[in-house]
Homo-oligomer: A and B are copies of this chain.
Amino acid sequence: MNVFGKNFRVSVFGESHGAGIGVVLDGVPAGLELSADDFAADLARRKSGAKGTTPRKEDDIPEILSGVMAGHTTGAPVVVLFRNGNTRPSDYSLFKEMPRPGHADFVAGVKWHDFNDPRGGGHFSGRVTLCMVAAGVVAKKMLHSGYALERLTASGLPLPQDDSRQLFSVEASVVEVGGVPLSEVEIPGERNPSVLWSKQLDAAIADGDSLGGVVECKVENMPVGLGEPFFDSVESLVSHIVFSIPGVRGIEFGDGFRAARMKGSEHNDPVVSPAGTTSGNGAGGINGGITNGNPVVFRVAFKPTSSIRMTQHTWNFTAGRISSLDIPGRHDVCFALRTPVIVESAAAIVLADLLLSLR
């Protein structure tokens, strides 16, 4: 269903070309400062426009429908609505007949007996991730405010020792595009992925093809003790929400898949301080599903954009045979470039929910 979380509950709705897309946030404590302006920075990070992303621009103006008064949350559900504009319904009429490779056209038609909204991917549109970004903004407010500190203290958990920094300092960034790791393209002082991987992006643009990428997320200044055995481990919850982001193919924590190739003596990293610091953080900040005070670190693999300019082939349900398909419209060459803020939001939502679930 379209709800995630137990005590901080995020519920999304909307379709790419319907009236709008929105999110209901239940469980937000009263008294957090919040205004429509607070969403601007993170929404801008998700925006398109740079090289490698679609030139289709949307305004993405958040309207707070409820749960905020006089600049503070009221304790009632917070609802943020994004009206859809700039839609081109005519672009999408073809895909019930000829499902686009890599898209949900075929499965949605079968599942919903052809009543699904096919326009722009409908409810499957990447546009729905706007909701996760909006939820993430509110989650970060919780994690970074005095509220988090009070909540941890009340639970008797030790606080992170670096009090010069934000609690739950979360940051995600692109670390690989088209198979080329950041280490091969680094430019001192440059953080814009579209610049760093411009050569790869230019080549894909020239080919009418698309590229995948890997995003790494790190949460620093973490308390010990978040997460719940057996089924609500931190990894379980993070992976659950991360795989809701369209186009994710894999997730790994700490040493990840590399851990399967290591020996115990290499992967086990010793505890080296009474705060639980380990020497190598191969566990990605989590033991037994519970945060261990080290940075939570995970990486997410995104597939290349499914919609490409090159001619493709797919089953033609009218003709009863495979036909060639050209997908019109404007698409991201590498949508992974736009996802770091979404991945950050996913992490923040999980941590906010776990914070509220401390007992």
Residues of B contacting A322 in the complex (Cβ-Cβ under 8 angstroms): 270, 272
Q: Choose among B176, B233, B249, B308 the residue that contacts A268 (Cβ–Cβ < 8 A).
A: B308
Is B107 a contact of A287 with CB atoms below 8 Å? yes
Q: How far is the CA of A295 from the CA of B324 in the complex (A)?
A: 25
Residues of B contacting A49 in the complex (Cβ-Cβ under 8 angstroms): none
Q: Choose among B158, B250, B255 the residue that contacts A256 (Cβ–Cβ < 8 A).
A: B250
* Stretch with Cβ within 8 A of B (4 or more), from A61-69, A160-168, A183-191: A61-69
Residues of B contacting A119 in the complex (Cβ-Cβ under 8 angstroms): 69
* Stretch with Cβ within 8 A of B (4 or more), from A20-28, A39-47, A50-58: A20-28
Q: How far is the CA of A153 from the CA of B155 in the complex (A)?
A: 11
Q: How far is the CA of A259 from the CA of B305 in the complex (A)?
A: 11
How many copies of this chain sit in the oligomeric assembly?
4
Is B255 a contact of A303 with CB atoms below 8 Å? yes
Q: Least Cβ distance of A227 to chain B in Å? A: 8
Using CB atoms, name the residue of chain B closest to A28. B359
Q: Choose among B30, B303, B310, B359 the residue that contacts A267 (Cβ–Cβ < 8 A).
A: B303
Q: Choose among B113, B178, B259, B306 the residue that contacts A301 (Cβ–Cβ < 8 A).
A: B259
Q: How far is the CA of A359 from the CA of B289 in the complex (A)?
A: 23
Q: How does the 8 Å CB contact mask read for A228-260 relative to B, with 1 for contact and 0 for none?
A: 111111011101111110101111111111011
Residue A356 lies at the interface, judged by CB distance under 8 Å to chain B = yes
